[in-house]
Amino acid sequence: MLNLSIMTRDTEIFDIIRQERERQTKGIELIASENFVSDQVLEAMGSVLTNKYAEGYPGHRYYGGCEVVDLGENIARERLKKLYNAAYVNVQPHSGAQANMAVFMACLKAGDTFMGLNLSHGGHLSHGSAVNFSGLMFRAVAYNLDENTGLIDYDNLEKTAREERPKLIIAGASAYSREWNYARIRKVADEIGAIFMVDMAHPAGLIAAGLLDNPVKYAHIVTSTTHKTLRGPRGGVILMGEDFPNPWGKTTPKGEIKMMSALLDSAVFPGTQGGPLEHVIAAKAVAFGEALTPEFKTYQQQVKKNAAVMAQHFMDKGYKVISGGTDNHSMLIDLRTKYPELTGKVAEKALVSADITTNKNMVPFDTRSAFQTSGLRFGTPAITTRGLKEDKMGWIVELIDRVLQDPESEANIQKVREEVNREMNQYPLFAW
């Protein structure tokens, strides 16, 4: 066999991979947007499919030799349609932000107004941050959470929609632990003639398992990542239900009206991306196949149960959980009720030193900057994959509280870290 290696084994990089595997194995992973994929998802991602160029779509490629990858991409599409009862899907977006960018490109012109959840209330940066394409190229307006309840302020959303008349309304968030009232948003979108898009990146796995309402029933367009609760490889997807009449079809230079499905496909390729990552698309297909099994539903039920129990333990210890609990896999903690002087930044650092991984997060109406923050975001998808059940959630919250009581003490952190490592040793993670 031809030896394609141009040098001896790259121990420098493989040692880094080993270190990262060790880090993932020994700690408690509580980042709400992370998960651990199955061995077969990993195997598909590390496969020879990475060698193939396949610009275009199955059956219509700009390269020869795509017959085999066409089969994989078609399976990914069919499984994704089945998972969410969708009529149209695109599995090529390289990430969630890329999927969102393609929707903007298909639906808006530069400078058009769109509306999303205020970023400091839980919205994602691709929903209008001033440093992201969405805020740089389009005019972003925001709706807010209610300061008292921590829930979406639907009155404020409707009022802002009627005043600003955005062409696109986005629901979905990076840090919102409650169910959405999609029907109410669709109603106001219809009233002002806006396109309604839902970015379901965070709860996609719970939705696939039927544990939260399916936005494909309400929105014109739905986007998602595949790597959070859905437990697939890093990537994005776009979906539409039956309900995509095409009042927004743009005319082509030849004067034909283009359907929204065609607009979205061309916004992904050639609009914003080149060749699709067929190895990742195969891994997406594997993950969608896993998500169609009864075991996946059991997993998601446990994710939800773990989150509800964890949120209750936080409240029992005197922490404020924004909105008073969670309907999904995540929760946002306002540290100020218990430790007014402690910033999210210091808390995150201390917890990471104790091998408890989480991230600082702004809380709604935060008095601190995005670099300091007054909150922490927690999620249960990764620890649930690891096998932890609800009876362990009190133990985790207890450890977190011990770290936060004395975040500057290395001795305190070390004691917690040893306990974390000892316990997590009981939950094997990788087969290799």
Ligand X SMILES: Cc1ncc(COP(=O)(O)O)c(C=O)c1O
State the residues that interact with ligand X by CB under 6 A: 33, 95-97, 124, 126, 172-174, 199, 201-202, 225, 236
Q: Give the shortest CB-361-to-ligand X separation in angstroms.
A: 11
Tokens of 276: 């699709």
Judge whether 234 counts as a catalytic residue. Answer: yes
Helices and strands in the chain, H and E counts: 15, 15
Catalytic residue among 29, 73, 199, 327: 199
Tokens of 420: 């974390």
Q: Give the shortest CB-381-to-ligand X separation in angstroms.
A: 13
- The Cα–Cα gap between 385 and 303 comes to 8
Q: Which residues, in sequence order, are bridge partners of residue 90? A: 238
Nearer to ligand X, 199 or 416 (CB): 199
Tokens of 252: 């082509």
Catalytic residue among 160, 225, 326, 373: 225
Catalytic residue among 167, 178, 228, 320: 228
Judge whether 384 counts as a catalytic residue. Answer: no
Peptide bond preceding 294: is omega within 30 degrees of 0, i.e. cis? no
Nearer to ligand X, 329 or 336 (CB): 329
Q: Which residues, in sequence order, are bridge partners of residue 239? A: 89, 222
Catalytic residue among 34, 43, 55, 423: 55
Nearer to ligand X, 197 or 333 (CB): 197
- The Cα–Cα gap between 323 and 91 comes to 34
Q: Give the shortest CB-395-to-ligand X separation in angstroms.
A: 27
Nearer to ligand X, 273 or 312 (CB): 273
Q: Give the shortest CB-318-to-ligand X separation in angstroms.
A: 28
Q: Give the shortest CB-394-to-ligand X separation in angstroms.
A: 28
Alpha helix locations (H) across 27-138? 39-45, 67-84, 96-107, 133-137
Helix (H) or strand (E) holding 265: helix 260-266
Q: Give the shortest CB-429-to-ligand X separation in angstroms.
A: 22
Judge whether 290 counts as a catalytic residue. Answer: no
Q: Give the shortest CB-232-to-ligand X separation in angstroms.
A: 11
Q: Are 312 and 106 in contact (CB under 8 A)?
A: no
- CB nearest ligand X: which residue? 96
**DSSP 3-state helix, strand, coil percentages of the chain (rounded to 5)?**
45, 15, 40
Nearer to ligand X, 86 or 198 (CB): 198
- The Cα–Cα gap between 308 and 331 comes to 9
Judge whether 55 counts as a catalytic residue. Answer: yes
Nearer to ligand X, 236 or 375 (CB): 236
Alpha helix locations (H) across 317-392? 344-353, 381-386
- The Cα–Cα gap between 302 and 387 comes to 9
CA-based torsion, 335, 341, 342, 345: positive or negative: positive
DSSP 148-209: TT-SB-HHHHHHHHHHH--SEEEE--SS--S---HHHHHHHHHHHT-EEEEE-TTTHHHHHT
Nearer to ligand X, 229 or 306 (CB): 229
Name residue 244's amino acid: F
Catalytic residue among 53, 154, 339, 427: 53
Catalytic site positions: 53, 55, 199, 225, 228, 234
